[in-house]
Amino acid sequence: MWRWHGPFSGTRVEPTAIGLLVPLAWVVLTTLSIAQRPGPGVVTSEAQAIVEARRAQAAQAPKGHADGVSQSAQGDSNNDAKDKKDAKKEEESSVKRPKTPPRVPDPRELEVKLDERGRVPPFNFIGQPWPDVLQWFANVAGTSLDWQELPDDYLNLTTQRNYTVDELRDLLNRHLQARGYTMLTGGEVLSVFKIDKIDPSLVPRAIEEELYDRKPYDFVKVAFELPDGLEVEKAKDDIKQVLSPSAKVFPLAATRRILVIDSVANLRTVSELLNQERLVRDGRIVPREFPLRHARAEQVIDVLYVMVGLDPKSRPTQMELQLQQQRLQIMAQMQQSGKDVSSMLNKDGPPVYLAYNRQRNSVLANAPPEYMKIIEQAIRYLDVPPEGPGGAETPLSATEADAGGREFRKYQ
C-alpha cells in the first residue's frame, strides 16, 4: 500500500492505481508542451524583437550603403525614365506638320503647261498630293510615270520664275529626297523609289568629274579613289558624316575605293574633302593667295581678268567659283595619273580661276604656271601705295606694317 503526500496527503493509493496514473501524467505533460509551441505563421515575441531591432539598424545606416546592391539598377532605371521624359518633352515642344493640307487642293493649279520657249512658267501649289504632282510633271516632261510607293503627305511649292524641265525635276527631287524618296529618269520613263528600298543597280553611275555637270539633287553612285595612306574603314566613317541619312556607302578594300550612293550635292562635298586630303598629303596647296596691302581686291581682280585674256563681265559668282575650283582639283589629280584632261578644259578661254577674299583683302588664283606668273607680276604692279601730296608715296603706319599686310588703310 502507498500513501500519497501532497495536496491530498493522507489519501491511500492502491498499487494498481499508480500504474494507471503514471501514463496519464505523461500524456498530460506532452499535451501541455505541444500547446506551448508556436504554430505555423505564428511569430514569437523573441523573433518579433529581433525583426524590430534589424529594422531600426537599417533605418540608421547610410542609404547608399544599405541599398548598395540595388542602387546601380535603380540609377539605370532613373536614367531611362529621364531620357524618355526628355524625348517626350522635345516631341511636345516641336510643331508637327498637319496630316491634311490647309485647304482642299485646287486641280486647276495642275493645269500649268510649257510656254513657247519650252519652260515652265511660275506656279503655286497648295496642298497638292504627290501622285498628282508627279503625274503633272511627267506630262510636262513627256515621260511615263512609274512608282510603287510615294510620300503620303502633300506639297506646298510656289515659284517666282520660269524653270526648265531639268531645273524643275531637280526642284521636285529636292523635296522628294527630304522625305526619303528620289526620282530617276531612264529613257522615256520617270521612276520614283524609296531610297531605303532602291536597288543599287538602278542608280545611274557617274565619274567624279561629272558631278559638277549634273544637277545638285540628281541621285547617282560614284566610286571615289582614296588618297594614299588613308584607311578604307576610316574613310568610310568620315564620309558618312557629310552624307544624307539614307545614303549608302560600300568600302572596296581591294581597290582602295569607296562606292557612295547619294545626291550630287553631297557627293561634291565628298569629292572636295578627298581632294583636299590628297593636296595635304602631297604637300601642295591650291589655289594661291595674294594678300594686298594697298589696293582693293575686288578692283584688282577685274584688271587680272583683262591681263589673262578674259572678259571681266564673265566673272562667275562665288558659288560658280567654288564649283570650278573643285573641278580643277579633280582635273589636276587625273592629269597626275596620266589621263588626258584636255577635253574637260574650257574652250572659251584659258583655264584661269580668280576670286577674292573680302575679309583678308586678298586675291585667290588657280591657273597653270604660265598664267600664274602673269597674275603675280600684275599684282606686284597694281598693289602699290597711293601717292601723297607732291607725288610722294604715303608711308605705312606702324600698325599696318606690323600686321603683315592684313591691316590696310582706308583709300583716299
36 alpha-carbon distance from chain centroid:
78
* 361 pLDDT above the threshold of 70: yes
- CA-to-CA distance for 357 and 341, rounded, in angstroms? 29
Given 242, 259, 282, the domain boundary residue is 282
Both 273 and 292 in one domain: the answer is no
**Mean pLDDT, the chain, as a whole number?**
76
pLDDT tens profile 316-338: 666 666 666 666 667 666 666 65
Residue 247, all three cell numbers:
545614303
The verdict on residue 131 lying in a domain is: yes
Both 172 and 234 in one domain: the answer is no
The verdict on residue 393 lying in a domain is: yes
Both 237 and 173 in one domain: the answer is no
pLDDT at 66: 44
Both 225 and 165 in one domain: the answer is no
pLDDT tens profile 200-213: 999 999 999 899 88
Given 259, 282, 305, the domain boundary residue is 282
pLDDT at 399: 40
- CA-to-CA distance for 141 and 165, rounded, in angstroms? 6
pLDDT at 284: 58
The verdict on residue 73 lying in a domain is: no
Higher pLDDT, 268 or 330: 268
Both 398 and 294 in one domain: the answer is yes
Both 166 and 257 in one domain: the answer is no
* 387 pLDDT above the threshold of 80: no
Range of the domain at 251: 200-282
DSSP secondary structure letters along 102-128: SS---GGGGG----TTS-BPP-EEEEE
pLDDT tens profile 136-172: 999 999 999 999 999 999 999 999 999 999 999 999 9
Q: How buried is 64 (Cβ within 10 angstroms: 0-12 exposed, 13-18 middle, 19+ buried)?
A: exposed
Asked if residues 137 and 130 have their Cβ atoms less than 8 Å apart, the reply is: no
Given 163, 189, 215, the domain boundary residue is 189
* Residue 298: CB atoms within 10 Å: 11
Residue type present at position 150? L
Both 294 and 278 in one domain: the answer is no
Both 309 and 385 in one domain: the answer is yes
The verdict on residue 309 lying in a domain is: yes
Q: List helix spans (H) across 38-114.
A: 45-60, 63-66, 71-93
The verdict on residue 144 lying in a domain is: yes
pLDDT at 400: 43
Both 271 and 224 in one domain: the answer is yes
Asked if residues 343 and 350 have their Cβ atoms less than 8 Å apart, the reply is: no
pLDDT at 214: 92
Show the CA angle centred on residue 188, arms to residues 185 and 189, nearest 5°: 55
Residue type present at position 281? R
Q: Considering the entire predicted model, what is its pTM? A: 0.53
pLDDT at 46: 59
Instruction: Give phi and psi for 311, each to the nearest 5.
Output: -85, 125
pLDDT tens profile 23-34: 555 544 454 444
Asked if residues 367 and 260 have their Cβ atoms less than 8 Å apart, the reply is: no
pLDDT at 121: 95
By percentage, how much of the chain surpasses pLDDT 70? Answer: 60
Asked if residues 407 and 400 have their Cβ atoms less than 8 Å apart, the reply is: yes
pLDDT at 398: 40
* Residue 362: CB atoms within 10 Å: 20
Both 292 and 357 in one domain: the answer is yes
Q: How many domains does the chain have?
A: 3
pLDDT tens profile 269-325: 999 888 878 776 665 556 788 999 999 988 898 888 888 887 766 666 666 666 666
Both 235 and 300 in one domain: the answer is no
* Of the listed ranges 10-14, 252-256, 297-301, the one predicted with least confidence: 10-14
